[in-house]
Structure 1
């Protein structure tokens, strides 16, 4: 994210962070009413995932609270992205509320101004509940939901940090400490790799496209950090990008299981659950199956840590989703009520305690009762809190992000196989540069 983007986001957030007190004071005088839009109907188009399932499961709760009827659908992610883009482009979307993957669609949605700037809604005490508590959202999530022009056109829902899972028993067997840096991670993973026992020090995404999110973890630790500059210049064949690629390919090639060039998260998860890998860096949402004794051989033996530090910086990849209100919606007030409920404290706590993912709000992480009754160790919650402090977008905020991942991902897969990183990255950069330039011309 550019400095301009970040400054714009923080300026917008600074004013809003003072909003909760203002809302509470004025809202009490003007009697905010959850029943204000009783009888209206809101259509929500959501991505199929455990969080959407929870919202749909508890939808009656919203209807009883507000008297607003909700029609919600959940669609697999790839199809959902295509559907909402087509409908928005038509000027007649069938939905009022839409779930958006910011790491894929933020710039596309923002440039077309498909969704409403919600800042005026938040600051309107007649439309925002006194207990909405805008300050409960982490600074990073607000920045992520804010466009480069300062418009906050989505409300944060879910944050997916890349964290490091590790097998406690495997580390203890060789008296190996939890790595703090990528160099230490390689050394530890190498020491724990024993192909004769089908034991590997590291497992990670090697499949084309999917592998870019793991590679980004290495790049974030370099002086450069980003793969695209604020001026939309491609930075994928620089010395830092080459170094990140070499480190990524080396640990995958020397410490990973055979065939890992075909691994997406599912194959990584299976390998780790079977107790055949010491370390795995991936999204926080995989903790639930790892701790399920009916599915996982490592349940109760999983350690959690923040992503390792690089040579110059310490960041972890951030991916996230948010809710937007269609600019074409004729029930914008009712839609805003739905967003307040959907991303309210109760639903955010449900996300956390069910293992559906890390909420965008910070209050769930301070709920001692929920933490105590959770199937996850306290280390898991501590890791999420610490990750939130060092999180940075794991993918560039560009329109053709899928093509970016496909093109760069091919180079990364080749490098795992032993190809020269500098050669592969130059080829990928040359191939993708015109795609990026054209997207900036046409949007």
Structure 2
């Protein structure tokens, strides 16, 4: 099996794209707001290693010159970052004043412990919030995603990651295969597109336990069931719809994916697709930048973007993941920290996220900047798919505290099916195993 490139290598593929010129004028320079109020202060910021984190790290001097605040910004690989911030939050003495929060992993855990400051009062304080901030520009769905069940918004939504269908335009055109709109169509298309003699498969997807849950949930979101826990906070991952999603997962991974897919995470999938050895791939839109890097990708300029296919049910959703930036309650630098968040998620930086493929902004205004979109490296189809995905997006994982254990237990069951295990049996076993874990967690909430 060809090994996938590292996360650092993959993200570096988009580095050249991150130097896009500023399109939005510096409205802040025209404002009477006192950006120098906290001059001389120093704050620490921790974010995940990603095109977004790299963009903000490179722009740090801009923030320091605007505010007079010195900022230490560290960029940490995703899994290590999630572990780091939880350990430090729990210690009661976090080393950071701003932290990136994976809403699909840590939202409920951080909310339950009330580790972060409620940002709404900061937004409403005219002495602390620039009149150019424009909170109404943040999409309602992302604001809801960043809001806890008790109404506190303990992070400001930063970006969304929608699951989309990537496809190789040349491979589909060569076989006269239309872009599929249902999972059944996609499976049949994948069989037609396979070319064993050239080591090309019709599909590539995550088979590794834990990582594979987000692909399975993409199938589930196209059924009559769109949640993994019901209104009573009970686990429902062994229903007929859940089993259908498991059967579809098994078919794709066993029948039309590369050998060794049982060990594939996003990086192996990305490498396979970049090399032109898979016709279709369903995954997060945040991986688009390396695909369009002509120095690294064999499919640059040949990538098509489409909505995830629809299943047999009444629903048609794409999986939504995302992050926000929060301020620890324990921080003594809440004012300067809030200044950094305002800068990091201003309209200009959010537009840079969009036009460079670094991520889908939580703000709405970037999508209406026709000049920036027209000059972007990415094709118009990319932006059209993002806009359409925003209308059908739904959380791709349940908002629970033991979400990592959930992904491990259910993910192991799905991985077992790739080896031939019965789907219904595996999902029932995994659901029974995890149900008391969830019930205990809910009692403690």
TM over 0.5: yes
- Superposition CA RMSD, Å: 1.7
Give 5+ residue unaligned stretches, structure 1: 1-23
Aligned equivalent of 1:248: 249
Aligned equivalent of 2:21: none
Aligned equivalent of 2:341: 339
CA offset at residue 48 of structure 1? 2.2
Aligned equivalent of 2:308: 307
Aligned equivalent of 1:376: 378
CA offset at residue 233 of structure 1? 0.8
1:22-59 deviation digits (Å, cap 9, x = unpaired)? xx9xx98xx53212222222221222222112212111
Distance 1:293 1:78 in 2: 28
Give 5+ residue unaligned stretches, structure 2: 1-26
SS at match of 1:131: coil
Distance 2:277 2:346 in 1: 39
Distance 1:197 1:93 in 2: 52
Distance 1:367 1:36 in 2: 31
1:126 aligns with 2:138: no
Number of aligned pairs?
Answer: 416
CA offset at residue 370 of structure 1? 2.1
Aligned equivalent of 2:287: 286
CA offset at residue 317 of structure 1? 0.6
Distance 2:66 2:81 in 1: 28
Query: What does 1:200-239 correspond to in 2, within 5 Å?
Result: 200-239=201-240
More displaced, 157-166 or 118-127? 118-127
CA offset at residue 344 of structure 1? 0.8
Aligned equivalent of 1:105: 106
Divergent runs of 4+, >6 A = none
Aligned equivalent of 1:8: none
**Aligned to 1:422, which of 424, 427, 441?**
424
1:387 aligns with 2:389: yes
Distance 1:220 1:303 in 2: 22
More displaced, 105-114 or 121-130? 121-130
Query: What does 1:118-267 correspond to in 2, within 5 Å?
Result: 118-267=119-268
Distance 1:124 1:183 in 2: 52
Distance 1:176 1:86 in 2: 50
Distance 2:115 2:219 in 1: 33
Distance 2:93 2:269 in 1: 41
Distance 2:80 2:291 in 1: 28
Distance 2:261 2:185 in 1: 21
* TM-score computed with the length of structure 1 as normaliser: 0.90
More displaced, 256-265 or 44-53? 44-53
Distance 1:272 1:91 in 2: 44
Distance 1:268 1:442 in 2: 38
CA offset at residue 237 of structure 1? 0.8
Distance 2:291 2:247 in 1: 29
CA offset at residue 408 of structure 1? 0.7
Aligned equivalent of 2:434: 432
Distance 2:82 2:170 in 1: 41
Distance 1:80 1:376 in 2: 29
Distance 2:72 2:277 in 1: 44
SS at match of 2:202: strand
Query: What does 1:16-55 correspond to in 2, within 5 Å?
Result: 32-55=33-56
Aligned equivalent of 2:13: none
SS at match of 2:279: strand
CA offset at residue 352 of structure 1? 2.2
Aligned equivalent of 1:367: 369
SS at match of 2:382: helix
CA offset at residue 206 of structure 1? 0.8
Distance 1:299 1:46 in 2: 28
